[in-house]
Amino acid sequence: MGEYASLLGATGPLARAVEGFEPRHEQQVMADHVGEAIADRSVLAVEAGTGTGKTFAYLVPAILSGRHVILSTGTRTLQDQLFHRDLPMVSAAIGRPARVALLKGRANYLCRHRLDMADQAQALPGMEPPSAKTLARIRAWSQGTRSGDLSELDGLSDSDPAWAAVTSTRDNCLGQDCPQFSYCHVVQARREAQAADIVVVNHHLLLADLAMKEEGFGELLPGTDAVILDEAHQVPETAAQFFGLNVSSRQATALIRDALAELTRSGLVNPGIREELFAVEQSLASAHSALRGLPERIDWTAAPDAFIESLDAAAVLLDRLARAIDNGGDEAGLKALKRRAEDLARVIVELLDAGEDRGVRWIESTPRAFTASFTPFEVADRLREFMQARPCAWIFTSATLAVGDDFRHFLERVGAPDARTLRIDSPFDYEQQALLYLPKGLPDPSDRTHTTAVLQTAMPLIEAAGGRTFLLFTSYRALNEAAALLRARIGFTDRYPLLVQGEAPRDSLLRRFRESGEAVLLGTSSFWEGVDVRGHALAVVVIDKLPFASPDDPLLKARLEGIKRSGGNGFMDFQVPQAALALKQGFGRLIRDREDFGVVAICDPRLQTRGYGRTFIGALPPARIVHDGAEAASFLRKRLKAAGIRVPAVEAT
């Protein structure tokens, strides 16, 4: 460990170059194991507790190795951070220049051809057309951008209709037949990635490639020496998306829209083609109509016959549409449309024929669209095959991979049961910095009074902390109920800014929470992980229930059925460890720095009354456990006072 210890030590180059750098023995240990795995081309799983500094712990050996390394992350935010900040900083500090490339999925890059076509986009049911003002802004930006990455455009959301209108998909890309191929930003990004030493991607892009759902990344894998997957706890769920089947009415609507635009541009629109397009549109509309009045998500077995019949008819009509387009001409755009129609028809047929012995089928619908999906019972075998076919180093890391000291749950899900493991505890002093408050006497989570009881438990902590609270819920129903109850509480919103998920973008809510210093934020699953609030703006995290997945979740059903078929116990082998890891993520929002302190309150009595409660508590950081709310409130007051923060007393109402 000598080389890594010197680079990451108190007198090393990173300490001199990085403001606020703190040498950590845990970080040096992790770097040593990562370097060894890269050299041996072995499989390694590292759980690095919060504060370990795991990013530098894998970047230093990756850069020093001089080998071709792929870094895969769970979010575009971390992807951008690695490429724009961390990699250049570490590379410069240790004096090892490296060619680095950022590669995102094609939906992130401007497609110049589709920008040229955007004015032809027609309004169709379920699809909002892009605004002329936004398209004009994109055109102005397109004249100067080098990367074509739409994230460069401040304020442009990926949900904006213009985003979809000016980006390509695997379905509608014209490839080398595109008139703008020489200026293609996706092709440029791929070429830069092929020439780079280190390529930064995300799990979606990596797994799309492994699943043979081409994203232009496959040329890189054969020559790769190491794949490092950060935020690796997300990999199994992401993989399930790519090894299944999905058919969306929006896919067909996009096909019809693009066909109208291309045929109009080519001067080939005729009554016969319009009739074929209308027939496809009507068949999908009939399928959607058959779902009205049903729950938003249903099992395939609950699908009305009219839905199945309409979907079957759509496949036939799509094949007929492909033949009609084929008769229109030999232009690149028309050939691509023909292929898209054929591919969509094929996937519909595969979905209709998917065997119940291989996976689970289900349907999700909204007032504007529906998606029919198939998920295999297990993806571990597929992932194992892909790793074995690519004999490079595979390194998985996250703050939450193990339940206690046990990595089996994660390793079995990613198809690497024999991987080497390393668990590194956080350098934070949880026994001094945090309390785990387990209140007594709360109603069962299924009781209709549970959310009210959660808020009654939380109020003394909120008042003791002067706000500074995350209230994390396992459902939108409970979140909305809690928001209504707090707003009805006299004087509450006058004292504490109330921030509620869904009422503003997540980044905006977090910025306002940090700036306020006295806010109360209500969130669901997206706030349980990937949220970093350092300092004294956050002192309390209240969790309403143990985060078991909904029993109606089709992905959960697929996992449980797969475990049952192999003779396992779905609840203890999957649901408990999965929920324990999610709870660990929620707890992890509180302590992000050595100076942080606070209370985590978990308001689920099952943690104390059920045998599996020990598994959950054993998975959490070693904070001191208390059952007295007054003791938890006193802890907050003392620590805030010691930090020089005065919290006004609240008069009883």
Q: State the pLDDT confidence band at 639, using cuts at 50, 70 and 90.
A: very high
Q: State the pLDDT confidence band at 576, using cuts at 50, 70 and 90.
A: very high
- Tell me the pLDDT of the chain averaged across its residues: 88
Return the percentage of the chain with pLDDT > 70, whole number: 95
Q: State the pLDDT confidence band at 127, using cuts at 50, 70 and 90.
A: low
Handedness of CA 383, 387, 388, 393 (dihedral sign): negative
Are 326 and 402 members of one domain? no
- Determine, yes or no, domain membership for 191: no
Taking the C-alpha atoms of residue 163 and residue 118, their distance in angstroms, rounded to an integer, is 10
Say yes or no to pLDDT of 217 above 50: no
pTM of structure: 0.83
Q: State the pLDDT confidence band at 557, using cuts at 50, 70 and 90.
A: confident
Query: How far lies 416's CA from each of 270, 379, 420, 439, 619, in Å?
Result: 56, 12, 9, 39, 21
Are 249 and 336 members of one domain? yes
**Parent domain of 59:** 2-99+196-242+385-424
Handedness of CA 236, 240, 241, 243 (dihedral sign): positive
Question: What are the tokens at 466?
Answer: 């002067």
Are 236 and 256 members of one domain? no
What are the pLDDT digits (tens) for 503-514?
Answer: 888 888 999 999
- Determine, yes or no, domain membership for 649: no
- Look at residue 126 in the predicted model and tell me its pLDDT: 53
Q: State the pLDDT confidence band at 106, using cuts at 50, 70 and 90.
A: confident
Mean pLDDT of 234-240: 87
- Look at residue 330 in the predicted model and tell me its pLDDT: 60
- Look at residue 652 in the predicted model and tell me its pLDDT: 54
Number of domains in the chain: 4
What are the pLDDT digits (tens) for 525-556?
Answer: 889 887 889 889 999 999 999 999 888 777 78
Q: State the pLDDT confidence band at 297, using cuts at 50, 70 and 90.
A: confident
CATH of the domain at 42: 3.40.50.300
Boundary of a domain, candidates 314, 346, 376: 376
Query: How far lies 118's CA from each of 102, 162, 281, in Å?
Result: 27, 8, 21
Q: Are 106 and 216 in contact (CB under 8 A)?
A: yes
Q: Are 364 and 351 in contact (CB under 8 A)?
A: no
Number of Cβ within 10 Å of residue 131's Cβ equals 13
Residue 645 backbone zone (phi > 0: left; psi -120 to 50: alpha; other: beta): beta
Number of Cβ within 10 Å of residue 192's Cβ equals 16
Diameter of the chain by CA atoms? 79
Q: What are phi and psi of 68, to 5 degrees?
A: -80, 120
- Determine, yes or no, domain membership for 21: yes
Are 365 and 416 members of one domain? no
Mean pLDDT of 421-434: 94
What are the pLDDT digits (tens) for 107-119?
Answer: 889 999 888 877 6
Query: How far lies 242's CA from each of 4, 129, 171, 208, 376, in Å?
Result: 37, 28, 15, 6, 10
420-449 CB burial, b ≥16 within 10 A, e <16: bbbebebbbebeebbbbbbbeebeebeeee
- Determine, yes or no, domain membership for 395: yes
Taking the C-alpha atoms of residue 590 and residue 434, their distance in angstroms, rounded to an integer, is 8
Question: What are the tokens at 642?
Answer: 């010691």
Are 435 and 389 members of one domain? no
Taking the C-alpha atoms of residue 568 and residue 566, their distance in angstroms, rounded to an integer, is 6
Are 57 and 178 members of one domain? no
Are 125 and 67 members of one domain? no
Say yes or no to pLDDT of 312 above 70: yes
DSSP 8-state code for residue 291: T
Are 435 and 333 members of one domain? no
Place of tokens 């929470």: 513
- Determine, yes or no, domain membership for 155: yes
- Determine, yes or no, domain membership for 454: yes
Q: CA dihedral defined by 187, 191, 192, 193, rounded to 10 degrees?
A: 100
DSSP 8-state code for residue 84: I
Place of tokens 């079995």: 412
